[in-house]
Chain A
Amino acid sequence: MPKRIGIENSIAAADAVAMANVDVVAAYPITPQTHIVEHLAELVADGELDAEFIPVESEHSAMSVCCGSSAMGARTFTCTSAQGLALMNEIVFIAASLRLPIVMILANRSLSGPLSIWNDHTDVMSVRDCGWIQVFADNGQELFDHVLYAFRVAEDPTVSIPVMINIDGFIVTHVIEAIEYWDKEQVARYLPAFKPVNVLNPDAPVTFGAFGIPNIFSETKKAQDAALLASKPVIMKAWDELAKVTGRSYKPVETYKLDGAETAILTMGSFGETASIAVDRLRAQGKAVGQIRLRLWRPFPFDEIREAVKGVKKLIVIDRAISYGGPGGPVASEIRAALYHEQQRPAVVNFLAGFAGRDVTPEDFIAMYGTTETLAAGGAPIRQEDYLFYGVRE
């Protein structure tokens, strides 16, 4: 029987990795990812997890070790944050192109500079186009579930694409929650053994990572894009199966109190939980407000977003990263692009908020709603490229 225990989310995530019977873990310490890999090291040291824990000398080597390991057919995990992701950036892209089904937890943290260890989404947005399947978990339970989910999706022979689980650093990684652990039977039902498509085997040699001459390069890029798009049915089925095994259901785009909403607040990551409280309070005041959580970042759920915003007149999009001199935050850019051809589409009001651990409370979401209503009442057109810094001292 699954048991529910109070535990730090990072420890639970590491336990989920161990329950997946991972073969190789390669990681380099960086705050706030540390507790996850520390616990994995403990599990290996205590003989509770039979895996190679490879304590590399950098994140660049962490992802490189993962590539070598995954290409051997081993179930492979790593975990990093911010600067670590930046240092391994080169190999993150190559891992996807090599179709190596590595699973990585990205404990989201602000990219330097200035140096900060606190949470936002500037790190993940720097690898938006890396070709990985990218999902967001909002709390410890979702993180636990998505570890097992990620291995299932990544290693599906029709997918064979690495999966990145985004989780807000500190805000989620370092708090204690009540988490329902899966039991062995659930894991066995849900997660099959890893059967790699191609593997480095002296008895049947293959060449991985040949270089692409111009004559073939465009074709490989198109094939990679097609593979990521084609992963969607597997992504969906893995969530359906997860619901059958655990009773918890996940979707690419999740909505809350959206029926009859004129205004919707769209977030990614743990902000969704806080925004829900704001929505409850606004609804209690009789305001027609609902909520949208974007869980699947890549492949981007265009259809689900279009469906979700039908009837919504004002869409508040919270971004936790900035595109300097660009068209607003990366999430708002994507949403605007997704809605561009729609006949009826909401005005998108983009707030940049919650950088590097700056708290965003339910009151703040209510204030953003107020600003949006004021803008709309003023009748001034909300332009595509507009974005507003929220809560920044002038």
Chain B
Amino acid sequence: MESLNVYASRLVTKREHFAPGHRACQGCAEALAVRLVAKALGQNVVVASATGCMEIISTPFPFTNWRVPWIHVAFENAAAVATGAEGAYRALVRKGALPEKGTVFLGMGGDGGTSDIGLQALSGAFERGHRFIYVCYDNEAYMNTGVQRSSGTPFGASTTTSPAGKLKAGQVTWKKNMPEIAAAHGIPYVATACSSYPFDLMKKVEKAAKAGGPAYIHILSVCPTGWGLPSEKAIWIGRLAVETGVFPLYEVEQGRYRITVDVPAQRPVGDYLKPQGRFRHLTPEIVEQIQTRVTAEWEKLRAKTAL
């Protein structure tokens, strides 16, 4: 579909399964990503959501934005809940209590709910081989509680628990490479995506649904509120994350790596860092340090695609 960009939007259903009227901040690219994932999966899905922004903005009782069956139990267990539902479905179909309809099971959480507190449950679910998709909506901090750092927060970013101060330049650790951790489980499908590239994202979700086993999609979800950006810049900054190589878009299908949105001439990382309030304290030396890292990571990824 990416080769048919001009027509791509006409090929997408107008039907929304994540209804409008949610309570996310203006310009929330995470809610956009949720909407795109829901669109790609259609009606025949069961969603298990972690506690977090997307849960809070979509289901203040008695309201819901979900036009598909949806369950929220707690913060760190979306993968376990999703796989419990999937296991139940398998048993009920086998025993003749439910018809086999090819229902898709989706677990979803933020970067904290996935790469920090939910990592154990997610790893267990991958290892057990359930037929489910897990989507991490990565906005690079605990935004729901007020922009605290997570293991998904990038190096140098100022958050409320990794503040830029006289001694420290924000987050002092490098972002945990969650897609690689997922891929290390040997699951059939892993991909990165960004709501600034909607067709690439939706295609990956469709592939994940057909993976026949655990699938993981890590979606960079721009958060204007937490990142210190005007709300109308969310899509633009997501594109810059990809164009600078900070967040490469790729997939790992049965162990084979492929870059899905190639960036032959990468822009300097400063183009991505500069517009964001969370990076405004960075010195040229730190920006250079980040550039070195981004280039090295990109080369590592490139090398994997050549295998």
Interface, chain A (partner B; CB < 8 A):
23-24, 26, 50-52, 54-58, 60-61, 64-74, 76, 90-91, 94, 98, 200-202, 205-213, 216, 220
Contact = CB atoms under 8 A, between A and B. Distances in A.
Given A65-B81, A207-B71, 7 more contacts: A26-B84, A68-B48, A68-B87, A72-B88, A94-B74, A205-B67, A209-B72
B301 interface: no
Interface size class of B (residues with CB under 8 A): 35 or more
Contact of B56 (A205, A211, A216, A220): A211
Contacts of B86: 68
Contacts of A200: 46, 69-71, 85
Interface of B: 43-46, 48, 55-56, 59-64, 66-74, 76-77, 80-92, 94-95, 97-98, 101, 103, 120-121, 123-125, 127-128
A208 B71 contact: yes
B61 A67 contact: no
Contacts of B94: 50
Given A67-B81, A68-B80, A207-B66, A23 B74 contact: no
B61 A202 contact: no
Nearest to A199: B69
A56 B89 contact: no
Contact of A202 (B45, B83, B125): B45
B73 A67 contact: yes
Nearest to B75: A90
A69 B89 CA distance: 8
Given A24-B87, A91-B74, A58 B120 contact: yes
A60 B46 contact: no
24 contacts: A23-B91, A24-B91, A56-B128, A57-B123, A57-B127, A61-B125, A65-B87, A68-B82, A68-B84, A69-B85, A72-B85, A73-B98, A74-B87, A91-B77, A94-B74, A200-B85, A202-B68, A202-B69, A205-B70, A208-B72, A211-B55, A211-B59, A211-B60, A212-B61
Contacts of A57: 120-121, 123-124, 127
Contacts of B55: 211
B76, B89, B101, most chain A CB atoms within 10 A: B89
A72, A94, A200, A208, most chain B CB atoms within 10 A: A72
A55 to B, nearest CB: 7
A68 B81 contact: yes
B73 A64 contact: yes
A201 B69 CA distance: 6
A207 B64 contact: yes
Contact of A64 (B59, B70, B77, B90): B77
B59 A207 contact: yes
Contacts of A68: 48, 71, 73, 80-88
Contacts of A26: 84, 87
Nearest to A55: B128
A50 B95 contact: yes
B106 to A, nearest CB: 11
Nearest 3 A/B pairs, CB to CB: A68-B84, A57-B124, A65-B84
Contacts of A210: 59-64, 72
Contact of B91 (A51, A60, A64, A98): A51
B101 A202 contact: yes
A202 B48 contact: no
Nearest to A205: B69
Nearest to A28: B124
Contacts of A94: 73-74
A64 B121 contact: yes
Given A68-B82, A210-B61, A61 B121 contact: yes
Contact of B87 (A50, A52, A73, A212): A52
A60 B121 contact: yes
Contact of A73 (B59, B88, B101): B88
A70 B125 CA distance: 17
A202 B103 contact: yes
A54 B84 contact: yes
Contacts of B85: 68-69, 71-72, 200
Contacts of B83: 54, 65, 68
A64 to B, nearest CB: 4
Contacts of B59: 207, 209-211
B201 to A, nearest CB: 22
Contact of B92 (A54, A73, A207, A212): A73
Contact of A23 (B46, B88, B125): B88
A67, A73, A205, A207, most chain B CB atoms within 10 A: A207
B58 to A, nearest CB: 9
Nearest to B87: A52
B84 A202 contact: no
B71 A211 contact: no
A237 to B, nearest CB: 26
A52 B80 CA distance: 14
Contacts of A205: 66-70
Contacts of B44: 202
Contact of B84 (A51, A66, A208): A66
Contacts of B98: 73
Nearest to A74: B88
B71 A67 contact: yes
Nearest to A97: B73
A61 B120 CA distance: 9
Contacts of B121: 57-58, 60-61, 64
B118 to A, nearest CB: 10
A21 B217 CA distance: 36
A52 B88 contact: yes
Contacts of A209: 59, 71-73
A67 to B, nearest CB: 5
A55, A57, A210, most chain B CB atoms within 10 A: A210
Nearest to A217: B61
A262 B36 CA distance: 72
A58 B84 contact: no
